[in-house]
Amino acid sequence: MSSAKAKAQNIIDQNGVAVFSKSYCPYCKATKELLSKSGAKFYALELDQIDDGADIQNALAEMTSQRSVPNIFINKQHIGGNSDLQALKKDDLKSKLTAASAL
């Protein structure tokens, strides 16, 4: 397993909610805003601000078939991107966050 893939998997495993993001991305901002408004505790990794960000993004594309950001995981389950998160009904999101102990 590549070090980037191992790093991504470690972040997913150790955080109830993990968001792989880019600091300038409006969709990433919308995701983090929704999670914050939901009261979720989440870990966001800004891929544009770390040296191995491109490698991690490539590893995530391998793992999920999703290349774009944000790339969101709740309770180790791949949710998808911002549109997927926004499409979740409020109750569904709350139950996923509760299951992930992120509330």
Element (H, E) at 44: strand 43-46
Q: Where are the domains of the chain?
A: 3-99
- The reported pLDDT for the residue numbered 6 is 97
> Are residues 72 and 31 in contact, defined by beta-carbon separation less than 8 angstroms?
yes
Q: What is the pLDDT of residues 36-54, one digit of tens each?
A: 999 999 999 999 999 999 9
CATH superfamily entry for domain 3-99: Glutaredoxin (3.40.30.10)
- Mean pLDDT over each residue of the chain, to the nearest integer: 95
For 92-96, what is the mean pLDDT? 92
CA pair distance 37, 11, nearest whole angstrom:
22
Contacts of residue 33, Cβ cutoff 8 Å, sequence gap at least 6 = none
Taking each continuous run of H as one helix and of E as one strand, the counts in the chain are 5, 4
How much is the pTM? Answer: 0.94
